[in-house]
Amino acid sequence: MLLRHLMKTTHKAGFVAIVGRPNVGKSTLLNALIGQKVAITSPKPQTTRHRISGIVTTPDYQLVFVDTPGMHQGKDLLNRTIDKVAVSSLKDVDIVLFVVDRKKTAAETHIMSYFDTLKIPVFLLINKIDTLASKHEIDELIVSYLGAYDFAGYYPISAKETTHLEQLKRDLIKLIPEGPQYFPTDMKSDQSDTMMMSELIREKILYLTEQEVPHAVAVQIESLADNPKEKTLDVGVVIIVERSSQKMILIGKQGEKIKAIGTAARKDINQYLNRKVHLTLWVKVKKDWRNRPQDLKTFGFGD
């Protein structure tokens, strides 16, 4: 009787890394698994730049999902620094989810080479199955990965439509070890409110600008102040770009672009913080910041 009671109360805890090429849907998957938006997503590659954990807590277990930047062997220092973040996330986790959205190519093979030294289960997740026409297409995709790595499981999913995610979660819970609850029950993410604010602003820039501009941007929250008179949180934001031509694009004709970015970001931040915010956006040029180690450090990149 006592033994049964003890067995029933055994608590499990595990860390699960989400890795893959840019734009395959890793952050969309993270949000779907957590059940709320903890990471920004966009149709443009290289959306995620930092490791972000999302946390699922129940009385019986805690699953910590670690979203990572898409791995893609980029050339500039920022991208190389970001790639290292993804690779280092493979250490210190219990399970890896390798997300793909197409048949195996050299890019996927390169990522799989990092799995060779791992002694933990790696699941292959075939995402975006809502865009595939038939089961036959899904099978063909899986077949292209057979023999490339000894995956612990194959999961056709749709992060966008949350297809087959419950099955995936159930299997993860089976594999994670016994362990304590590492994070408080109500904590959904390890990202601070300030970080999330700057990410939401960057998300709007990803949606509202084109070509190299979104990737040349860093967003920094410079000041936060309660405004009791207006009952708002006043937020001063600096958007850093690499060239004055990018600054002009970001501001737009008669400031239209920056205004649209501010309006869209304000709406999301209001909702996220559940309070009214007032954003003041400044655009500054910092030449070639993506290749300057000191600037990267200042903007919080690296491990």
Residues lying near ligand GTP in the complex (CB under 6 A) are found at 22-28, 41-43, 45-48, 69-70, 127-128, 130-131, 158-160
At closest approach, how far in Å is the CB of 207 from ligand GTP? Answer: 10
Nearer to Mg ion, 50 or 103 (CB): 50
Q: How far is the CB of 194 from ligand GTP (least distance, A)?
A: 20
- Smallest gap, in angstroms, from Cβ of residue 39 to Mg ion? 6
Q: Which residues pair with 100 in a beta bridge?
A: 126
189 binds Mg ion, rule: CB under 5 A: no
Closer residue to ligand GTP, CB minimum distance, 255 or 300: 300
The residue written with tokens 């993860």 in the block is 172
* Of residues 47 and 62, the one with the C-beta less far from ligand GTP: 47
The DSSP-derived string for 72-118 is ---SSHHHHHHHHHHHHTTTT-SEEEEEESSS--HHHHHHHHTTTT-
Q: Is 191 in the site for Mg ion (CB under 5 A)?
A: no
- Among residues 17, 27, 235, 246, the one that binds Mg ion under rule CB under 5 A: 27
Q: Under the criterion CB under 5 A, does residue 47 sit at the interface with Mg ion?
A: yes
- Listed in sequence order, the DSSP H helices in the chain are 2-8, 26-34, 77-88, 106-113, 135-145, 165-175, 193-208, 244-251, 256-273, 293-298
Near Mg ion by CB under 5 A: residue from 42, 46, 48, 81: 48
| Binds 198: which of Mg ion, ligand GTP, none (CB < 5-8 Å by kind) | none
- Do residues 66 and 18 make contact, with C-beta atoms less than 8 angstroms apart? yes
Nearer residue to ligand GTP within complex by CB, 52 or 176? 52
How many angstroms separate the CA atoms of 65 and 111, rounded? Answer: 19
Rounded distance, CA 204 to CA 274, Å? Answer: 19
Q: Is 186 exposed, middle or buried (0-12, 13-18, 19+ CB in 10 A)?
A: exposed
160 binds, among ligand GTP, Mg ion, none (CB under 5 to 8 A by kind): ligand GTP
CB of residue 128 to ligand GTP, shortest distance in Å: 4
If the CB atoms of residues 198 and 251 are measured against ligand GTP, the closer one turns out to be: 198
**132 vs 234, beta carbon nearer ligand GTP:** 132
Residue 130 CB, nearest distance to ligand GTP (Å)?
Answer: 5
Residues 6+ apart with CB under 8 A from 141: 100, 102, 103, 126, 132
Specify the residue, 159 or 237, whose C-beta has the smaller distance to Mg ion.
159
CB of 83 to Mg ion, least distance (A): 14
Report the C-alpha gap between 250 and 36 in whole angstroms: 29
Among ligand GTP, Mg ion, none, residue 191 binds (CB under 5-8 Å by kind): none
Annotate 225-240 with DSSP letters as a single string: EEETTTTEEEEEEEEE
Q: How far apart are CA 78 and CA 288, in angstroms?
A: 10
**How many residues touch Mg ion (CB under 5 A)?**
4
> Could you tell me if 217 and 202 are in contact, meaning their C-beta atoms sit under 8 angstroms apart?
yes
Which residues bind to Mg ion, rule: CB under 5 A? 26-27, 47-48
